[in-house]
């Protein structure tokens, strides 16, 4: 049976106890949200010691199920004031599972900047003043020099130490590239607790326990075969998530110039096709890369400059959309440097891109000026006031600059999919407990939904409610979003996920397990937000999206408010 490891930073005590009761069948987002909902005062200061910061692998973490190593990070969000889960790839979930740890819950605040060491001998809080102010890259380099290459590392950058509300939690891949649990400012929660990094070392540990190894083996084999058969997986491996730039642009839903348009004239220049052509000409670049052990999609890449020097890895669609088209920037090399800078500072590229778009609308810097955008973000290290605005998100930026067109819900910047062209996604943005988060339930038209009209006002909330529950379940399993899309399209695959969860938990789960699990998670999160003071009036898109036609389609977001209010039986 897996444990919850609790670390009290006020005393330095680390205690482990089995996951029991209502928590016993949970992992990932389901576990972080259940613990936050039960143990955190919804009215608390998110950056105060009473907030809880939780790191959890999913139910399937450490198993042979492909792409099952996502790490969930949970807390009350300083950006939104809501309950929050952000997740990333990397090795942390697998190594925690190998150590028999389902979740690590960190409470209180350390007296000085520290690291938490976790290994087969237990957990310890160690002062680490030498890491103060270091960027993510330098932090990981220093930790590797001290601890070696067997551990995996999770850290916050300078933005987290400065308690900036767009701060991300940064995790390492098997080859020590960086991935982020980016959304909601959870890096600032980590900084508020005076924790610079986690060092998770599974040397000498066994493998994550599985109650029925034969059922697990059969499920893993069939899932791998089914996922690989889906055509989108080939596109992801060939072009990575940047292949979605041209897809979104073609259907008029690519966030452009602070969400004033759905198509970007420079889209081809920042597309996956262009990126892979460029990387094919550059030394040391890789067009395909995996962020975790067991990945069979390999949707990432390693981006190098014209001299073959490493710039960034995990250069994704949302970054290209929000730092790129949303800001009118069409230079891939400029965007790659911005991506690296955000990773090094420990910032959410999506929130930063939304904030830069607002700043450009407010005249703080010119549209399309990548160099000016870089300088403004870099200015965080020098204490620049406008730079701090950007790092506190698009709502703070809009308020300071007097900009009223601010693309945010519950304080969080909207993802790069324009909700006036994808109204089911808009319903998700409006009603998810997480703020405007596309991973909570993006709904794209496709050949497997021939009757679905993303531009219609009616019927969107039913789609959104189903997909929100699906992705909450997927995040609870610790399964990657992209192969889960194949599971939505291929009806033989979801029962295999149920079989795999049954094999871990040692009980025969019902056919409707995934839908019921996801709905329960979302309802738990909605209840926390209600107790925090959120009401139906907060489940809305920005007013300008309901009145201002999106170019070129002319769409407005006109999903009835009564439909939004009726979701999840509210």
449 — pLDDT class (breaks 50, 70, 90): confident
pLDDT at 230: 94
Exposure class string for 165-192: b at 16+ Cβ within 10 A, else e: bbbbbbbbbbebbbbbbbbbbbbbbbbb
- Could you give the CA distance from residue 414 to residue 428 in angstroms, rounded to a whole number? 11
Residues making up the chain, counted from first to last = 570
Interval 305-321: pLDDT, tens = 999 999 999 999 999 99
- Could you give the CA distance from residue 14 to residue 9 in angstroms, rounded to a whole number? 9
Average pLDDT of span 380-384: 93
448 — pLDDT class (breaks 50, 70, 90): confident
The reply to whether 51 falls in a domain is yes
Nearest 5°: the CA angle 415, 39, 132 is 65
Across the chain, what does the average pLDDT equal?
A: 97
- Residues of the chain above pLDDT 70, percent: 100
CB atoms under 10 Å from CB of 234, counted, come to: 12
Per-residue DSSP letter, 524 = H
CATH number of the domain to which 105 belongs: 3.60.9.10
Which domain does 9 fall in, by range?
A: 3-200
Per-residue DSSP letter, 256 = B
- Could you give the CA distance from residue 251 to residue 492 in angstroms, rounded to a whole number? 30
pLDDT at 56: 98
- Could you give the CA distance from residue 527 to residue 42 in angstroms, rounded to a whole number? 10
Assigned token pair, 33: 């949200």
Judged by DSSP in three states, 497 sits in helix
The reply to whether 371 falls in a domain is no
Assigned token pair, 90: 């990397």
- Could you give the CA distance from residue 219 to residue 223 in angstroms, rounded to a whole number? 6
User: What is the tally of structural domains in the chain?
Assistant: 1
Task: Give the CA distances from residue 464 to residues 34, 73, 87, 449, 457, in Å, rounded to whole numbers and listed in that order.
Answer: 22, 23, 20, 14, 13
The reply to whether 248 falls in a domain is no
Interval 167-216: pLDDT, tens = 999 999 999 999 999 999 999 999 999 999 999 999 999 889 899 999 99
Pairing of strands 101-107, 310-313: unpaired
Give residues with Cβ within 8 angstroms of 326, minimum separation 6: 255, 256, 257, 258, 259, 353, 354, 356, 357, 416
Q: Say if residues 58 and 68 touch (Cβ distance below 8 Å).
A: yes
Q: Is the pLDDT of residue 531 over 80?
A: yes
Sheet of strand 169-172, all strands in order from the earlier edge strand to the far edge: 122-127, 114-119, 195-200, 152-156, 169-172, 178-181
- Could you give the CA distance from residue 334 to residue 356 in angstroms, rounded to a whole number? 14
- Could you give the CA distance from residue 527 to residue 12 in angstroms, rounded to a whole number? 32
pLDDT at 1: 55
Assigned token pair, 147: 């601890």
For 451, half-sphere exposure in the C-beta direction (CA atoms, 13 angstrom radius) is: 3
The reply to whether 553 falls in a domain is no
In this prediction the pTM is: 0.97
pLDDT at 570: 61
The reply to whether 159 falls in a domain is yes
CB atoms under 10 Å from CB of 20, counted, come to: 9
What HEC string does 222-255 produce?
A: HHHHHHHCCHHHHHHHHHCCCHHHHHHHHCCCEC
pLDDT at 441: 93
pLDDT at 206: 87
CB atoms under 10 Å from CB of 145, counted, come to: 8
Judged by DSSP in three states, 76 sits in strand
Tokens 């399964």 correspond to what residue? 479
Of 413, 404, 411, 464, give the one whose Cα is nearest residue 440. 464
Judged by DSSP in three states, 143 sits in helix
The reply to whether 479 falls in a domain is no
pLDDT at 446: 81
Dihedral (Cα; 557, 425, 447, 220), 10-degree rounding: 180
- Could you give the CA distance from residue 526 to residue 543 in angstroms, rounded to a whole number? 22
Average pLDDT of span 340-360: 98
- Could you give the CA distance from residue 527 to residue 402 in angstroms, rounded to a whole number? 33
Pairing of strands 13-18, 3-8: antiparallel
- Could you give the CA distance from residue 70 to residue 63 in angstroms, rounded to a whole number? 12
Exposure class string for 245-276: b at 16+ Cβ within 10 A, else e: bbbbbebbbbbbbbbbbbbbebbebbbbebbb
- Could you give the CA distance from residue 311 to residue 337 in angstroms, rounded to a whole number? 7
The reply to whether 412 falls in a domain is no
Give residues with Cβ within 8 angstroms of 229, minimum separation 6: 486, 490
Task: Give the CA distances from residue 323 to residues 40, 142, 335, 373, 466, in Å, rounded to whole numbers and listed in that order.
Answer: 34, 29, 7, 9, 30
The reply to whether 314 falls in a domain is no
Nearest 5°: the CA angle 196, 370, 172 is 30
Interval 76-128: pLDDT, tens = 999 999 999 999 999 999 999 999 999 999 999 999 999 999 999 999 999 99
Q: Is the pLDDT of residue 276 over 70?
A: yes
Of 258, 322, 311, give the one whose Cα is nearest residue 286. 311
Nearest 5°: the CA angle 253, 259, 265 is 65
């Amino acid at each position: 049976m897996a444990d919850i490891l609790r670390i009290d930073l006020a005393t330095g005590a680390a205690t482990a106890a089995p996951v029991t009761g209502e928590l016993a069948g949970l992992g990932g987002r389901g576990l972080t949200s259940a613990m936050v909902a039960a143990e955190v005062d919804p009215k608390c200061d998110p950056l105060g010691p009473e907030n809880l910061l939780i790191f959890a692998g999913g139910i399937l973490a450490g198993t042979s199920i492909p792409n099952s190593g996502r790490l969930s990070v949970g807390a009350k969000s300083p950006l939104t004031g809501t309950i929050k889960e952000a997740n990333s790839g990397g090795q942390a979930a697998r190594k925690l599972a190998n150590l028999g740890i389902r979740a690590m819950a960190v409470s209180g605040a350390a007296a000085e900047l520290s690291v938490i060491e976790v290994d087969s001998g237990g957990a310890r809080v160690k002062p680490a003043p030498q890491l103060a102010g270091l960027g993510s890259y330098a932090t990981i380099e220093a930790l590797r020099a001290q601890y070696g290459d067997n551990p995996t590392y999770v850290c916050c950058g300078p933005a987290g130490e400065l308690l900036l509300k767009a701060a991300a939690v940064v995790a390492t891949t098997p080859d020590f590239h960086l991935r982020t649990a980016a959304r909601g400012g959870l890096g600032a929660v980590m900084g508020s607790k005076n924790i610079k990094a986690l060092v998770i070392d599974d040397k000498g540990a066994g493998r994550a326990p599985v109650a029925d190894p034969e059922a697990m083996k059969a499920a893993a084999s069939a899932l791998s075969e089914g996922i690989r058969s889906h055509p989108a997986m080939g596109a992801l491996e060939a072009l990575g998530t940047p292949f979605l730039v041209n897809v979104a642009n073609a259907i008029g839903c690519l966030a452009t110039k602070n969400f004033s348009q759905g198509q970007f004239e420079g889209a081809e220049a920042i597309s996956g096709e262009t990126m892979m052509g460029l990387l094919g000409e550059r030394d040391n670049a890789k067009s395909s890369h995996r962020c975790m052990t067991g990945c069979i999609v390999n949707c990432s890449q390693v981006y190098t400059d014209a001299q073959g020097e490493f710039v960034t890895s995990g250069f994704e669609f949302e970054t290209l959309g929000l730092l790129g088209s949303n800001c009118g920037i069409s230079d891939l090399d400029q965007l790659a440097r911005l991506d690296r800078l955000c990773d090094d500072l420990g910032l959410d590229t999506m929130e930063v891109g939304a904030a830069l778009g607002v700043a450009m609308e407010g005249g703080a810097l010119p549209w399309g000026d990548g160099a000016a955008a870089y300088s403004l973000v870099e200015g965080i290290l020098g204490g620049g006031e406008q730079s701090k605005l950007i790092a506190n998100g698009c709502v703070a930026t809009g308020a300071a600059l007097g900009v009223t067109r601010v693309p945010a819900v519950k304080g969080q910047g909207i993802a790069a999919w324009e909700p006036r062209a994808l109204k089911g996604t808009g319903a998700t943005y409006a009603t998810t407990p997480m703020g405007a988060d596309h991973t909570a339930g993006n709904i794209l038209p496709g050949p497997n939904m021939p009757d679905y009209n993303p531009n219609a006002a009616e019927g969107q909330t039913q789609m959104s409610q189903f997909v929100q529950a699906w992705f909450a379940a997927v995040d609870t399993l610790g399964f990657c979003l992209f192969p889960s899309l194949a599971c939505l399209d291929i009806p033989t695959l979801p029962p295999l996920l149920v079989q795999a969860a049954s094999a871990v938990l040692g009980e025969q789960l019902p056919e409707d397990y995934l839908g019921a699990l996801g709905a329960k998670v979302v309802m738990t999160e909605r209840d926390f937000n209600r107790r925090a003071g959120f009401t139906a009036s907060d489940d809305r898109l920005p007013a300008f999206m309901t009145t201002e036609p999106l170019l070129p389609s002319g769409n407005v977001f006109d999903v009835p408010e009564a439909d939004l209010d009726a979701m999840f039986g509210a």
